[in-house]
A and B are shown apart, each in its own frame.
Chain A
Amino acid sequence: MGVAASLLGIVIWALHFGLVYGGQALACEVGRPSIVMPLVIGASVVALALLLVLAVVARRSRGGFLGGLAVGIAAFSALAVVWEAAPVLALPAC
């Protein structure tokens, strides 16, 4: 488990956050509020799946300290992804 691989969770979180925030702003700007919910939920499902794969691979690789770091970062990222996506279920899209 290399340093870059152990930090992959950050990249997944950042892409998810950028996509959700930027995508929603863009969709509202061009007058397409209906795509916000599917976009946010779809992006979140993909991000969570990737984080799960990352955590499983990191555990199986017996990567020592960096492997543990990868799992921990994936867990924090997953928590943030779920929390950040949740408001879309309760609030109007734009």
Chain B
Amino acid sequence: MTPTQALPNPLPRPEGELEALEEVWKRPRGWRFVTVVNNNWIGVLYLGTAGLFCVFAVILSLLMRAQLTVGGNDILEAGTYNQVFTVHGTAMMFLFAVPAVEALGVYLLPAMLAARDLPFPRLSAYAFWAYAIGGFFFFLSLFWGVAPDGGWFMYPPLTGKEYSPGINADFWLLGIGFIEISAIAGAIEIIVGVLRNRPPGMTLGRMPIFAWAMLVFAVMIVFAFPAVILATILLELERAFDWPFFLSARGGDPLLWQHLFWFFGHPEVYIIFLPAAGAVSMIVPAMAGTRLVGYGLVATALVATGFLSFGLWVHHMYATGIPSLSLAFFSAASFAVAVPTGVQVFAWIATLASGRPRMEVPMLFVIGFLFIFVLGGLTGVMVAVVPFDWQAHDTYFIVAHLHYVLIGGMVFPLLAGLYYWAPLASGGGLRYGRWVFWLLFGGVNLTFFPMHVAGLMGMPRRVWTYPEGMGLELWNILSTIGAGVSALGIVLLIADLAKNFRMSSGGTDSNPHKAGSLEWLPQGNYNTRSIPLITSRDPLWDQPGLAAQVEAGQHFLPGTVSGRRETLVTSAVDAAPQYIAIVPGPGWAHVIAAVGTAGFFLALTVQWVMISAAFGAVALAAVLYWLWTGTDLGPVRGPADIGGGYTLPLYVTGRDNLGWWAVVVLMLVDGTVFGCVAFTHIFLWLSNGPESWPPSGTTLPGLMAPAISAALVAASAAVVMLSDAVLKRGGRWAVAALLLVALALLGAGMGLDLQALWEAGVRPTAHAFGASLYANQFWQLLHLGIIAVMAMYVVARIAAGLVGAVRRVSFDVVRLFWFYVVGQALAGLALTHLFPRGAGVA
């Protein structure tokens, strides 16, 4: 048999097959463009918005540099300067860096994995709009002088009510709520997409390194963001309702914030860096014309960097008086994480050495990245040494270090990626790259290198001015000149984009860099015409004729079998075809939901409670409408032939379903938040000492009430199990009734516990002990609310005849989450009632 005969689908293809595919994936025109959900468009919008926010934040940095050009300058007042550096840092981290790399993933992953789209396109479109609207208003806060001013890491007590009485701090705490939501939405999308939407034959061991990097990135978001989510909730509860988590007079501890913040904040650096490193691992082999050296090692190093980076958070807290042995654990962990990063750097160097690198613009940016990032990494090893850090802490040396790491580690690779993938996104390439590179490379080094010296001379960061005559003038003038040179580079970059970049449905007919990965296949809105069978890590190099075969429709699923948008779902490890998932097309619901979400948080910031509630209700209604109309469509047709002997169903339930996977990821997020609630409780216990936990005068309720609560909560899980059995036998109204009973049991169990705590006299405002118990209550009751909405939704679907023995994904998803909520409630009861008793004995 010749290879052409072995292809999954024969030629010629039926007439109208391609036209039908194009029609289904057509993008909405005119003003309806805002309803677009396809990743080829959302990805570019996302990246463009992140770039815009970056430019805003750069403008703020130029203001700061102008102020610091000479000592005693008065361009910015001290208070304004505080707002400017806080918004600069916050925006760069939350509104530029994370969304930009996420956007790169949203844009590139389906093309690299030859998937038609991401598994939940409306979710990423929703995340994008919530972020874009919320981010825009976040910047606007500067013009009213109400922007946050406590530094991007917002340490209490400075950011507590006493020292920050205005709404500035609330703008940070609530204003980034939407970015937390959109980061987690993106993480769910990327984890499920990378694991379940690969082309047949692309095993984990054949996956592009960029996909590995995005997978690790998304898993890190799942475990890192919960800490900052809880931290912001706690600080907002303290500011709004006087629950003293961080007030030491009432048993709180400001270090709790630092632990929670940096448990997020340190992995955050790698969350930003790893996707950039993944992009470099795609660009280097293409530019060198050879395979990546040490593919397996690089993949392993990405995973290792991801998890080791969770053991570093205390290295931001060396100056807080923590015992030296504790600091040494984190110092050692900080050295350990340098090893896998070093492995990657050596793999790139070895790849360059083994090929013939072409000095094109992406390659220039890669070399700039290596130079700047390695310098930042070296100063990172310096500040990982505890005694050195005590000298450099809170000086410009740190400012220099973090900018070298972040600009070197993220901005240069992103620009390398922009110049590398621009032909894919716009059909033609960009032109002014060399000028942009040299201006930015020179400008960045000229800006930040002198800061090392200024810092070592003792110039403190975050102070609006400095005295003359201490030898700081020269270094500051050099930095300001460097900032100006960098700004020229950015202006030129914007000009290049404005002149030469045009949004398109994606794809080039040629493979301009002669790369080996799948995004260079001929593409449209639907990505590849047919989904290729993959037999190698570099398919375009090893599978001759692949591009022509794919475009002719000779591989899997060359058209649409249901007349809707579809994508192929494969198994997580081996990428064996499992089913055809129907993915939603354009719509308004997610746009309205995004407006509602952003409005909810922003109105809450300025304490318009009713307006905020109204926005929240709109968001909830829109999400429910979108779920009702766009998900769990049931078996719209019987199994369909995709070629290669595979006849796949269009609807599966249970553990193979993509929605099930999404809920599992969500459970990991929620479980991590709950873990942070438990950490809060245990940390405050340690901080107060066992003898004052609970504090004198506070008694917990007897064990009878929590025992009844536990029984009721557990019973609700049992009733849900029963409803599952009834649904299997085709029951309908009985299932709805059982779900309502289960909801009542869960509500009764949680309500009883709250009542018992209150009647025993425990109050959240009296002491951090009570505050931490009510933080647990808050988290549990939030889940009760979510389960209530979910249960009513399923009951309504049952009433409408949309849930049954076969069509039951909605039910399955709710059942799974219900079990999680029950488990979390039981753990919460143990934390409230058993831990203090056991700890008191110890």
Contact = CB atoms under 8 A, between A and B. Distances in A.
Nearest to B333: A84
A91 B310 contact: no
Contact of A69 (B296, B307, B324, B325): B296
A14 B310 contact: yes
Nearest to A71: B300
Contacts of B297: 72
Interface stretch (B334-342, B355-363, B389-397, B789-797): B334-342
B686 interface: yes
A20 interface: yes
A84 B205 contact: no
B679 to A, nearest CB: 10
B534 to A, nearest CB: 14
Nearest to B307: A10
Contact of A66 (B204, B308, B323, B689): B204
A68 B303 CA distance: 13
B323 to A, nearest CB: 6
Nearest to A90: B328
Pick the most buried of B304, B328, B690, B842: most chain A CB atoms within 10 A of its CB.
Answer: B304
B840 to A, nearest CB: 13
Nearest to B204: A65
Contact of A80 (B299, B303, B331, B336): B336
| Interface residue tally on B, bucketed by range | 20 to 34
A3 B329 contact: no
Contacts of B329: 17, 20-21, 24, 84, 87
Interface string B281-321: 00000000000000011011101100110110000000000
Contacts of B324: 91-92
Given A25-B686, A30-B690, A72-B296, A87 B339 contact: no
A93 interface: yes
B326 interface: yes
Contact of B296 (A7, A68, A88): A68
A93 B339 CA distance: 27
Contact of B325 (A68, A80, A88): A88
Contacts of B304: 72-73, 76-77
Given A72-B297, A72-B300, A80-B336, A25 B308 contact: no
Interface residues of A, number: 37
Interface in A35-94: 36, 64-66, 68-69, 72-73, 76-77, 79-80, 83-84, 86-88, 90-94
A54 B329 CA distance: 24
Contact of B339 (A20, A26, A64, A79): A79
Contact of B205 (A25, A66, A92): A66
Chain B interface mostly: helix
Contacts of A10: 303, 307
Contacts of B339: 76, 79
B333 A80 contact: yes
B573 interface: yes
Contacts of A87: 325, 328-329, 331-332
A72 B310 CA distance: 18
A69 B686 contact: no
B168 interface: no
B573 A92 contact: no
Nearest to A81: B336
A3 B333 contact: no
B296 A3 contact: no
B572 interface: yes
Contacts of B690: 29-30
Interface in A1-30: 2-3, 7, 10, 13-14, 17, 20-21, 24-26, 28-30
B324 to A, nearest CB: 6
A83 B307 contact: no
B94 to A, nearest CB: 26
Given A30-B690, A76-B304, A94-B325, A84 B296 contact: no
B267 to A, nearest CB: 13
A64 B307 contact: no
Contacts of B310: 14
Nearest to B336: A80
Contact of A65 (B205, B335, B689): B205
B203 interface: yes
B655 to A, nearest CB: 14
Given A14-B307, A29-B690, A68-B296, 16 more contacts: A3-B572, A24-B323, A24-B325, A24-B329, A25-B326, A66-B204, A66-B205, A69-B299, A72-B297, A72-B301, A76-B301, A79-B339, A83-B335, A83-B336, A87-B329, A94-B325
24 contacts: A2-B573, A7-B303, A14-B307, A14-B311, A17-B329, A17-B333, A25-B326, A28-B323, A29-B686, A64-B205, A66-B573, A68-B300, A72-B296, A72-B300, A73-B304, A76-B340, A80-B311, A83-B332, A84-B329, A86-B332, A87-B328, A88-B325, A91-B328, A92-B324
